[in-house]
Amino acid sequence: MWLIFVSPFIIAGVDRTKLRQSATFALQSVNQLVWPAVCSNCRESICESDKSLCKDCWGELLACTGGDYCPRCGRDASRYGLVEGVCPDCQGKEIHFDRIARSGVYKKEQTLPKMILAFKKGRTELDSMLGFLANSALDGSSFCNDIEFFVPVPLHWSRRLWRGYNQSLVLAKKLKHRTAKICTDLVRIRRTKSQPMMPSPAARIANVAGAFAVRRRHIFTGRNICLVDDIKTTGATLNECAKTLKEAGASKVFALVLAVAGQKPA
Ligand SMILES: [Zn+2]
Ligand SMILES: [Zn+2]
């Protein structure tokens, strides 16, 4: 009796599900025909189900990510080679940020750096893929739950005007966090030369010295901040930002970057 009463609903339910599946499939086919899916890195055609990248690019991207690293400077380091939680390179150095998380390493001609450079040169549609990598690094970090504000490393207003966007802010907007908000109260008050043009680590430090400041009514006092940037090379920029935030009263300053350069040759 009950079966007779319920069966039309089951049949109707199955039919509706099948109908929905067929409609979705048809829509995907039309979509694929009109707007064929392409790899967001190399523009090769891919299946809808390939999630933005072709198999080759996924493979190359994975080769740039993963691996143990020093939680203070982000460079490759075996977890067994850390002394008091940091690598030998960090011993005795004045590093103003407390810990760092990275998605991968920056090695020339590899997929991750190529994607980051393209992202900086206008291909902002890569934000989803790079955001995915940044979120994975964030989830794997030891400080994710301590963050109260994400602070993108600021560009000078003239550079932002020229580029049209701040890539660190675009990236920060892709971060998924239960409570932390984005704050742009850290500003670059001096136009600095491009860091890659600097001939030495000392020149990089001098180039960004005093280049940052906080807005008058900032919210940093007593807060745990996570700086967001695309690439860390010597760390001079992140260090100067962290120093400025600590001087403004920030409690802890962490850093999240897509890639860390300056690895020792294997
Ligand atoms: Zn590809
Ligand atoms: Zn280190």
In sequence order, what DSSP letters do the residues of 187-209 get, joined into one string? Answer: EE-SPPPPGGG-SSHHHHHHHHT
Dihedral sign for Cα 186, 197, 206, 265, please.
positive
- Looking at residue 34, its pLDDT comes to 59
The better pLDDT of the pair 145, 26 is held by 145
**Ligand number nearest to the C-alpha of 102:** 2
Dihedrals φ, ψ of 179, to 5°?
Answer: -125, -30
Residue 24's pLDDT band (boundaries 50, 70, 90)? low
Distance 82 CA to ligand 2 centre (A): 8
Residue 50's pLDDT band (boundaries 50, 70, 90)? low
- Looking at residue 117, its pLDDT comes to 93
**Ligand number nearest to the C-alpha of 88:** 2
What lies within 8 Å, CB to CB, of 137 at 6+ separation is 101, 102, 103, 256, 258
Distance 112 CA to ligand 1 centre (A): 12
The whole-number average pLDDT for the span 152-160 is 94
The whole-number average pLDDT for the span 43-53 is 75
**Ligand number nearest to the C-alpha of 70:** 2
- Token pair 């049209």 is at which residue? 164
- Looking at residue 6, its pLDDT comes to 46
The whole-number average pLDDT for the span 66-94 is 89
- Looking at residue 250, its pLDDT comes to 98
The whole-number average pLDDT for the span 202-228 is 95
Ion ligand 1: residues, CB < 5 A: 39, 41-42, 44, 54, 57
Residue 58's pLDDT band (boundaries 50, 70, 90)? confident
Dihedral sign for Cα 86, 87, 92, 98, please.
negative
Lowest-confidence range among 10-19, 33-42, 159-168, 257-266?
A: 10-19
- Looking at residue 245, its pLDDT comes to 98
Distance 17 CA to ligand 2 centre (A): 54
Distance 69 CA to ligand 2 centre (A): 8
**Ligand number nearest to the C-alpha of 77:** 2
On whether the CB atoms of residues 126 and 43 are closer than 8 A, the answer is: no
Distance 125 CA to ligand 1 centre (A): 14
**Ligand number nearest to the C-alpha of 55:** 1
Residue 36's pLDDT band (boundaries 50, 70, 90)? low
**Ligand number nearest to the C-alpha of 37:** 1
**Ligand number nearest to the C-alpha of 74:** 2
- Looking at residue 266, its pLDDT comes to 43
- Looking at residue 177, its pLDDT comes to 95
Dihedrals φ, ψ of 133, to 5°?
Answer: -65, -40
**Ligand number nearest to the C-alpha of 86:** 2
The whole-number average pLDDT for the span 26-43 is 69
Distance 83 CA to ligand 2 centre (A): 10
Residue 221, pLDDT > 70, answer yes
> In the chain, pLDDT over 70 holds for what percent of residues?
86
Round to whole Å and give the CA distance between 31 and 142: 42
Q: Report the mean per-residue pLDDT for the chain.
A: 87
Q: For 263, which DSSP code?
A: P
The better pLDDT of the pair 73, 9 is held by 73
Residue 13's pLDDT band (boundaries 50, 70, 90)? low
Distance 61 CA to ligand 2 centre (A): 23
Amino acid found at 156? H
Q: Which tokens in the block code for residue 210?
A: 């005093």
